[in-house]
Amino acid sequence: MLLADLLTWWYGRGWLQVARNGQRRLRHVIDLFSVSLLLRTLIAPWRKIITYPGAGLDAKMRAISDNFFSRMVGFVVRICVLLSAFVSGIVLGVYTLVVLLAWPLIPVALLASPILGLLL
């Protein structure tokens, strides 16, 4: 009875749960790397380190240049983190896909492996 329930679960709720766990982990990666926030603030100045423009063209030009630099630093850091998030997401996605594909084969492999051992 327990074995039948195990098999029913394995090919039903269990399989779905593996998919759900993968989804949850992916969500966690997106949250951990602040993906949504970083995309919205991709070119914002790094830690708001900005120069307020003073009087005169020189000061204004310097402010524009400083702020552009701050935005560049922010962009580079954010892009690096977003790339890391992307790579982590891909790895996690592939892992989940492999597990999902392998999942229905595990009970079969369990039964087949001793037979295969005898045949080899």
Partner 1 sequence: MTPDLGNIRAKKARLGKRIGPIGYDMLRGGMAAGTIATIILFILSLPNLACVAIFFSLLCLVPAAWYRLELHELPTNSESLTGRLDRHLLARLEPGRDMTPLTIWQDIKGYWQNFFVIDHLFIHGDALDDHLSQEPADTAAVWSTAAELAGSQPIQAGHVSAALLLTTPSLQPYLQSIKVDTDTIKAVTGWLDRLLESRHVSRPYFGGVGRDWANGFTPRLNQFGHNISLDIEAHGAHFGWLTTSPGVQAIKTAFSQGTAAVALIGDDGVGKTSHVDALAQVLLQEQTDRNLEHRQIIALNPSVILSHASHPGDLEHLLLLLLNEAAHAGHIILFFDDAHLFFQDGHGAVDLSQILLPVVQSHQVQMIFAMTPRDLQQLKTTNGTLANLLTPISLQEPPVDQVMRVLEDAAIRLERRHDVLITYEALAEVYRLSGRYDQDTAYPGKALKVLEQAMAHADHQLVNAASVQAAIEQTRGVKVSTASVAETDQLLNLEDAIHERMINQSQAVSVVASALRRARAGIANPRRPIGSFLFLGPTGVGKTELAKAVAATFFGSEDNIIRLDMSEYQQPDDVQRLLSNGANESKSLILAVRQRPYAVVLLDELEKAHPNILNLLLQLLDEGQLTDMEGRAASFKDCVIIATSNAGANRIRDAVSANQPLDEAFERELTDELINAGQYKPELLNRFDEVVLFRPLEAAELLQIVDLMMKEINQNLANQHITVQLTRPAAEKIVEKGYDIRLGARPLRRVLQRAVEDTIADKILRGEATAGTNLTLDVADLKL
Q: Pick one of 23, 41, 65, 94: the residue that binds partner 1 (CB under 8 A).
A: 41
What residues contact residue 7 under an 8 Å CB cut-off, 6+ apart?
Answer: 107
Residue 101 in the binding site for partner 1 (CB under 8 A): no
SS3 state at 26: helix
Using the contact rule CB under 8 A, the part of the chain among 1-9, 59-67, 89-97 near partner 1 is: 1-9
Residue 56 in the binding site for partner 1 (CB under 8 A): no
**Class of residue 75 by CB neighbours under 10 A (exposed 0-12, middle 13-18, buried 19+):** middle
Residue 46 DSSP code = G
Binding residues for partner 1, rule: CB under 8 A, are 1-2, 5-6, 9-10, 13-14, 17-18, 21, 31-35, 37-38, 41, 44-49, 74, 77-78, 81, 106-107, 109-110, 113-114, 116-118, 120
